Structure 1
Amino acid sequence: MNRRQSSKVITVMLCSTFIIGAIPSVSFAESKYQSEIDRIKTKRSEVKEKTDATNNKIADIKHDQQAVVAELEKLDARMKVTKQKVNQTEDAVNSGKVQISKLKEEIKFIEERIESRQELLKNRMRSLQKAGGMVSYIDVILGANSFGDLIQRMSAVQTIMKADEDIIKQQNSDLKEVSAKKDDLTAKQAKIESDLASLKSLKNQLTSQVSEKNKLMASLKERESEAHEDVLNLKEQDQLLASQQAAMQKALEIAKKQAEERAKKEAAEKAAAAKAAAEAAKRKAEAEKNKPSTSSSHSSGSGSSGNSSSSSSSTGSSDSTPTVSSGNFTRPANGYISSGFGQRSFEGGEFHEGVDIASAGSVPVVAAADGVVIRAYVSSTYGNCVFITHNIDGQVWTTVYAHLASFNVSTGQTVSKGMQIGYMGNSGHSTGQHLHFELHKGEWNYAKTNAVDPMKYINF
């Protein structure tokens, strides 16, 4: 009985020793995942700061837009007043044109009258010159036959001289009037043309200012649209990082549980082996003690064949489903490599952070390794896509499957190596049916600094 108790105590101590010995590997995996989760938290904090900064930028842009709207309203009010003034001035111009037309007629009439008088005066002057000037008037008076005739002749001479004076006065008056009317005409025309030119200049200036303000408003609207797009991109980043954080947390729990189960299993196996060795030693000691008896004790060894884990995994899917290969990762889809990892010679020479696998028809896409789905959703650029996190020997990996026709897994789902997750497609920013596949050593980030060449880790 004491021996049995002693054997149990030894077994328990051995199991404890083995379990404790397995703890460092669990802690190592937990530490690895925790560091990745902490990095994601930091990146989410950075994304939040960028989002807040972009939202503040949008608020500033909206404030600028309000200021532009206020200025446009003022310009619009001034434009209305200016248009009214332009209309009034144009009416005045039209009225002035009528007045000018009348003035021109009056001037023409006066000029004709002046010309008529001028001709009369010329004739009178010619008559005077022929008669010797004023002497003709004396001859007329002296030639009277009687006193009565003299009175009549003197009265006639005075009347003629008075008529000549009136003609000259009227002529001078008409000449002055014509000159004044012409000056008035010139002044009115100049003023109207000046006012109209000033108003048209102001109108053009206001139109130019309105055009500039409208251009500024269009620019602000474009900046606001870009800022909103940035916010959406940042929001998508944050959602992906949040999903990645949750998936890693779940993968960490799975890794811890698997490590604990392995540790317990290994501890149990080693304890059983230790117990068997102890019992064999005990039997051997008893056999030595009872050596005179020739009974040979054959210990039928219960050959514990170790876990023959045949890791040849059969997918059992259609011919187009890739065969699950050995190693850490398996090929995610059948087809040819249409574009490799690295700098491209087309599309502006941008860097390609993955490989493109192309094929026609209905082509299944499988998980490259065991893991947890970070996110399965529709991206603005990747189209239908799936992100998966993996823990391989304590190292965190992330795989991305983009441009899918459809996917049949959900966020947070546990997947196994070779498990179908969707079909190859042409969704998102794509120019033909293919699978864009990325492999990241560590967590996924927007800058894709952890991206590695999948062809160095997977046999394509």
Structure 2
Amino acid sequence: MKKSILSSMTAVALLSTAVTAGTPVSAESIDDLKEQINEHEQEKSKISEEKNSLNKDKQDTETKINENLSEQESVENEILDIDDELATTQNKIDTKENEIKATNDEIDDLTERIGTLTKEIEVLEDKIEKRDALLKDRLRSIQQNGGQIKLIQVIFGSKSFVDFISRTSAVNTIMDQDKQIMEEQAADKQLLAEHKQEVEEKKDTVVAKKEELELQKTELLALKDQLDNQKKERKTLMAKLEKEQENLEEIKLTIEEEHAILAAEEKAQAQAIALAEQKVGELEQLAKEEAERKRQEAERRKAEQERQERESHNNNTNNDNSNKVASAPETKVESGNTGGGYFIYPANGRLTSGFGMRNHPIFNVSRLHAGVDFGVGTGTPLVAPADGVVSTAGTMGGFGNVIMISHYIDGKSYTTVMAHLSRIDVSSGQAVTQGQVIGATGNTGNSTGPHLHFEVHPGGYGNPVDPMPFLR
């Protein structure tokens, strides 16, 4: 049998009928209400514990978020430092490349100079070789002809003074030529040695300089590669931290939403308790009035019976058909379940997506679809699936416009969720009856098209199950 103390309008109507008809109030209904109040108190206490647990989870998540942000800042600073070092290294590489280019130009100039020097060396070597041959001939001639003695004979063999001057001048010329040849030969050999030494020294210096520059460039390129790898690692870590941050923010938002939902459910439970206590007071008052009515009726019947007995005694007649007034039978007001699930369909539409894991149509990730979707157009009337108290009515994250209702049925609590609405006609804390229009379906929040998202949570929000077995 379905029991719901959250439908205050129905309860008040029934109470009014009972009072009008003079129907006795059952003590069992009062006991049932008191039992339900106790169960609501327990549920409220459970919600309070869950809120405390969520507060701790929220604090832990905020701590992780702060640690993540601090690590992100540290990594960002490391990336900036690496960028600075990369810029410095690149400048050094550019400088080395310019130096290498200048050295290559110097090598090109030196190569050209070496080519010129090589030709000069070849000319010098040829001249030296020819002078060597000439000097050898001269020495051989001097040796064969007696050297300077022969030259003196030439001078003293003059026939006249003019001939003497002429012969002396010729000998001096020959001697000067020999001396010049010897000096030129020595100078060319010296120049040849200097050219060769210059070429070798310059070549060795430039080659060594180029090798040093190439080595420095190689070291700088290796450093750049190392820095690039470090930057890539830092970027990868940063992306990971940003993803973790996104997940933590989502967890925090989820916790905050769940906390808000629990707070709303706690408020709804408190209101349900207040309604139940009000009904208990009304029923107790009715019970007192009924007891007083019965007492007065009993006194009336007793007085009537005594009167009749006195009349019978006075008339000496035995009236077996005396008029007796019977009390009206007691009735008990109950609400019946029409069969099937506890909830009616909140909107008329075909099922488009069931409960369970699926690939999210917007975020393209596998996650739990915590309810079912019904394909309905925007503006389709939305009704309360059962009697209850509205715990949440407003905008909430990906749900968009959402209504959540707390129900108490057959000794158990449930929370139903209806999301992506275009209109909300109720407010938090409001009692609603099954079938009452509470809003309209729509396409708000994270939605790919007009539809109704419907969830059922036994025991309160946070325990989603497949809603279909609960519908009738």
For normalisation by structure 2, the TM-score amounts to 0.77
Aligned with residue 381 of structure 1, among 388, 398, 403: 398
- On the 8 A contact 1:22/1:263 being kept in 2, the answer is no
The secondary structure found in structure 1 opposite 2:421 is strand
Aligned with residue 135 of structure 1, among 118, 137, 140: 140
1:181 shift after superposition:
1.7
Supply the AA of the counterpart residue of 2:99: A
Mean alpha-carbon deviation: is it higher for 293-302 or for 174-183?
293-302
Distance 1:270 1:393, change over 3 A: farther
1:146 partnered with 2:135: no
The secondary structure found in structure 1 opposite 2:418 is strand
Supply the AA of the counterpart residue of 1:234: I
Mean alpha-carbon deviation: is it higher for 189-198 or for 118-127?
118-127
In structure 1, the partner of 2:257 is 236
Deviation per CA, 1:14-37, whole angstroms, max 9, x where unpaired? xxxx89876643431221001111
Aligned with residue 48 of structure 1, among 55, 58, 77: 55
In structure 2, the partner of 1:258 is 279
Q: How does 1:438-453 map to 2 (within 5 A)?
A: 438-445=455-462, 447-448=463-464, 451=465, 453=467
The secondary structure found in structure 1 opposite 2:398 is coil
- On the 8 A contact 2:418/2:453 being kept in 1, the answer is yes
1:365 shift after superposition:
1.3
Distance 1:437 1:54, change over 3 A: same
1:202 partnered with 2:204: no
For the residues of structure 2 that align with 1:279 and 1:422, how far apart are their CA atoms? 55
In structure 2, the partner of 1:176 is 197
For the residues of structure 2 that align with 1:235 and 1:75, how far apart are their CA atoms? 39
In structure 2, the partner of 1:227 is 248
Mean alpha-carbon deviation: is it higher for 344-353 or for 143-152?
344-353
Distance 1:137 1:200, change over 3 A: farther
Q: How does 1:94-105 map to 2 (within 5 A)?
A: 94-105=101-112
- On the 8 A contact 1:439/1:454 being kept in 2, the answer is no
The secondary structure found in structure 2 opposite 1:38 is helix
1:128 shift after superposition:
6.6
In structure 2, the partner of 1:417 is 434
In structure 2, the partner of 1:110 is 117
Q: How does 1:429-440 map to 2 (within 5 A)?
A: 429-440=446-457
Deviation per CA, 1:393-428, whole angstroms, max 9, x where unpaired? 554332222232211111111222221101122333
- On the 8 A contact 2:378/2:451 being kept in 1, the answer is no
1:333 partnered with 2:346: yes
1:291 shift after superposition:
1.7
1:366 partnered with 2:387: no
1:75 partnered with 2:92: no
For the residues of structure 2 that align with 1:93 and 1:159, how far apart are their CA atoms? 47
In structure 2, the partner of 1:3 is none
- Identify unmatched segments of 5+ residues in structure 1: 1-17, 313-323
Deviation per CA, 1:152-208, whole angstroms, max 9, x where unpaired? 544543443333233222222222222112112211222222223333333343333
Q: How does 1:339-350 map to 2 (within 5 A)?
A: 343=356
Supply the AA of the counterpart residue of 1:409: V
1:193 partnered with 2:193: no
Higher RCO, Cα 8 Å, sep 6+: 2
The secondary structure found in structure 1 opposite 2:391 is strand
For normalisation by structure 1, the TM-score amounts to 0.78
In structure 2, the partner of 1:406 is 423
The secondary structure found in structure 2 opposite 1:426 is coil
Deviation per CA, 1:37-94, whole angstroms, max 9, x where unpaired? 1111111111111111111111111221232233234334433433443344344334
Aligned with residue 426 of structure 1, among 420, 443, 446: 443
Aligned with residue 37 of structure 1, among 27, 44, 66: 44
For the residues of structure 2 that align with 1:355 and 1:104, how far apart are their CA atoms? 85
Deviation per CA, 1:254-293, whole angstroms, max 9, x where unpaired? 0121133224324533552354245324423442343243
In structure 2, the partner of 1:62 is 69
- Identify unmatched segments of 5+ residues in structure 2: 1-24, 157-167
- On the 8 A contact 1:311/1:326 being kept in 2, the answer is no
For the residues of structure 2 that align with 1:61 and 1:138, how far apart are their CA atoms? 104
Supply the AA of the counterpart residue of 1:41: S
Supply the AA of the counterpart residue of 2:110: L
The secondary structure found in structure 2 opposite 1:372 is strand
For the residues of structure 2 that align with 1:349 and 1:75, how far apart are their CA atoms? 37
The secondary structure found in structure 1 opposite 2:236 is helix
The secondary structure found in structure 2 opposite 1:428 is coil
Distance 1:223 1:304, change over 3 A: same
Deviation per CA, 1:303-350, whole angstroms, max 9, x where unpaired? 8687798989xxxxxxxxxxx979995524352441586547886996
1:389 shift after superposition:
1.4
